[in-house]
Chain A
Amino acid sequence: MPRHELLTGNEAVAHAVAMAKADVIGIYPITPQTTIIEEICNLAANKTFSPKIVHVESEHSAMATIIGAAFTGVRTFTATSSQGLALMHELLHWAAGGRLPIVLANVNRAMAPGWSIWTDQNDSLSQRDTGWMQFYCESAQEVLDTIFLAYRVSEQVLIPSMVVLDAFVLSHTSEPVEIPDNETINKFLPNFTPSFKLDIDNPCSFGALLRPQFYQEVRHKLNDAMSEALIKINESDKLWKQLTGREWGIVTEYRADDADYLFVTSATTASTAKPVIDKLRKEGLKIGLIKIRVFRPFPFEQVKKYLTKCKRAIIFDRNISYGHHGIFAQEIKSALYGVKNSPEILCYTGGLGGKDITPQLIEETIIKGTKTKLNGSLFEWI
């Protein structure tokens, strides 16, 4: 039987990692991720699970350590934020290039300078091209469930996963969470059987010099595996629904079916937007919501499916690519290029460095988005 507990987003991560029985966990503190590793240490101390926790001296070494452990054939985990994730950057490539099913939780935090401990997505989106899957979550329940899904899919397609949650708004906010029983988890997430490992009976070298005749082929395979991942995410989501009654989708919609306007966003901004959609619907505006949950692999088909049904898409990014505009917006635009019935697209960026995204702010953005006369592309700061 599942049980219910009041958990913060960070506690949900820790509980899921414990239930997934991660074997080796590299830990290093950084606000606002720290409570994940503290909770993991507590869960290990009270024997909820028995991982080997390696108390490293940096995020770089946290990732290096679990890369070593994953190559030796066990399930691994680490968590970080912001500067820590940026410090790991080199090794994020290493984990993906090594085809290691590592799972990492990143609590979105703005990059310095100036110092900020509050949320925005520039840390994780800066790692877009490292070859990791990225899942953006909006609730503690979604975080908990996504950790299981991340392990399952990562181990199927041999690509590492980054489960992303907003600083404080999600990481430190308590919500009731349904925790599945171990039997359910065992059905969903079988024990990890590595398809390759450091083996004294079959000595191989891993990561050796790849000459030009091989390198691209290896990377091509990684990219193919990303496409396969989308199918596996879908399958796993269906199985999760069978087991728990919950599904999270790849791209999810809220009142989008008959919408003229779509508000497109990600993570906790989607939760904040739902009551605004309801309010505006009541007032007669045919508006719906699209949440992009899986950012890598990018869900081209789902984006096309939903966005070609509306007249205008209002994309709200909590991130910025300097010299361009919001990163989700860029990706959505590229997915719609040359597609028949593409909507008009308005790109807004706001909420950086924890700047509050309130229902009022979303409402103003939507109203502005519906009324603006569009001449080509539009990008504005909120």
Chain B
Amino acid sequence: MKNYSKPVLDGRRIWTTPEKEIYSSGHLACPGCGVAISARTALKVFGKKTILVVPACCFAVIDGPFPYSAAGVPLLHCAFESAAATASGVRAALDQMKINDINVVAWAGDGGTYDIGLQALSAAAERNENMIYVCYDNEAYMNTGIQRSSATPAGAWTTTTPAYPGKPERKKDLASIMIAHKIPYFATASISYMNDFIDKFRKAKDIKGFRFIHLLSPCAPGWKHAESDTIELGFLAVRSRIFPLFEVENNKWKITYNPHPTSINKYLDLQGRFKHVKGEDIKAIQTEVDKRWEELCEKCDLPSQINPPEQPVQHTRNQVLSKEQFQEVLSKHFINFSDNENELAYQMLKSLWLDKSYSHFSDEELICNIIARVQMCDCT
């Protein structure tokens, strides 16, 4: 167990992104939308030599109606089920024109990936098409107003699973499906773990062939959570092992962040879609989470830690960092905030540092949390 108490993050290079924005303000994401944050950061990593292919999904609306586009790179809207096929065509044309320094990125929701787009996706993966496919998974058809998808987790309320106990079936294991295609790179990523996120997007960018990144994307209106809890939920999903951060490169599985496990209760409590989930149902979800974690550990050649402690590890903090100390920490993260952003970040630090409800976060995690929140504020 000792092996996993130290976050892998510490032993890893801390990444930064260019200060210059590609994704612009004025987009149409809901307040607290996870996609706005991931799109912004992903585009910074990919750079301007990128073509986005977007099927019907929230992002097709978020980017803006004609004649606006927030993406800052060429963006091709395509039919719901055709992101991977359309992106294959873009790549084929670039190949014919002997252009090989452009990233072709399919950016799709869970409906367009898990459900209607799975056939074209599987085919593109089998052909090892030279593209990066990003699925931002908000676990239901959110653009049409919260209908169940095969990415919706068991127990979740949606407008099409309105009766107790919510969606009866478990979430489709897309990771296994994609990895079974033996693609060069598969990763899960979270906006709450920006360093891990950037690390994986950078890695994906440099690999040739079919790359797949699965993002868990909290959705305030769909999950019925407070708009301010987006980042928190990202953390909790990873910490509770509901959404483990891992990658598979050339068939080598690796957990990229092995958290102190927390129980799933807090993750569920913050979301209205799980309001009715109590007692035995929670136990059933926990059992499923543990089982999948165990399977994952086995694939990663790690001994698993199945039972989460009743009480999460507490970090006690006595004194708020001074502004100077905080600046030092930020610069360690290569963060270049504007004066306003610095001020905002420091105000957040002051309010959260001693807050007991954040004592389950390590210092590192809390600062990452604040950085992500500030990035989100700027963005939305």
Contact = CB atoms under 8 A, between A and B. Distances in A.
Interface of A: 23-24, 26, 51-52, 54-58, 60-62, 64-74, 76, 90-91, 94, 198-200, 202-211, 214
Contacts, number: 158
A76 B79 CA distance: 18
Contact of A208 (B65, B102, B126): B65
Nearest to B48: A200
A198 B96 contact: no
Interface of B: 48-51, 53, 60-61, 63-69, 71-79, 81-82, 84-97, 102, 119-120, 122-123, 126-127
Given A57-B126, A72-B90, A203-B74, 16 more contacts: A26-B89, A54-B89, A60-B120, A68-B92, A69-B92, A72-B89, A72-B93, A72-B94, A74-B97, A200-B50, A205-B69, A205-B77, A208-B60, A208-B67, A208-B68, A208-B75
Contact of A61 (B64, B71, B95, B123): B123
Contact of B79 (A71, A94, A202): A94
A54 B85 CA distance: 9
A205 B63 CA distance: 9
A208 B76 CA distance: 8
B84 to A, nearest CB: 8
Q: Which of A204, A207, A208, A214 has the most CB of B within 10 A?
A: A208
A178 to B, nearest CB: 29
Contacts of B126: 57
Given A73-B97, A205-B77, A61 B51 contact: no
A208 B88 contact: no
Q: Which of B60, B65, B74 has the most CB of A within 10 A?
A: B74
A68 B53 contact: yes
6 contacts: A64-B86, A65-B85, A67-B86, A69-B96, A91-B79, A206-B75
B53 A57 contact: no
A202 B74 CA distance: 7
B74 A205 contact: yes
Contacts of B85: 26, 56, 60-62, 64-65, 68
Contact of A24 (B51, B68, B78, B96): B96
B115 to A, nearest CB: 15
Q: Which of A26, A55, A199, A204 has the most CB of B within 10 A?
A: A204
A61 to B, nearest CB: 4
B183 to A, nearest CB: 16
Contacts of A68: 53, 76, 78, 85-93
Nearest to B123: A57
B86 A65 contact: yes
A23 B48 contact: no
Contacts of B127: 54-55
B72 A203 contact: yes
A64 B63 contact: no
B66 A198 contact: no
Contacts of A76: 89
B291 to A, nearest CB: 32
B209 to A, nearest CB: 15
A23 B77 contact: no
Contact of A205 (B75, B79, B95): B75
B223 to A, nearest CB: 24
Given A205-B63, A205-B77, A208-B69, A57 B120 contact: yes
A76 B88 CA distance: 13
Q: Which of A55, A58, A90, A200 has the most CB of B within 10 A?
A: A200
A176 B89 CA distance: 35
Contact of A203 (B69, B87, B122): B69
A65 B96 CA distance: 14
Q: Which of A64, A73, A76, A200 has the most CB of B within 10 A?
A: A64
Contacts of A57: 119-120, 122-123, 126
A90 B86 CA distance: 14
A69 B96 CA distance: 10
A199 B76 CA distance: 11
B82 A91 contact: yes
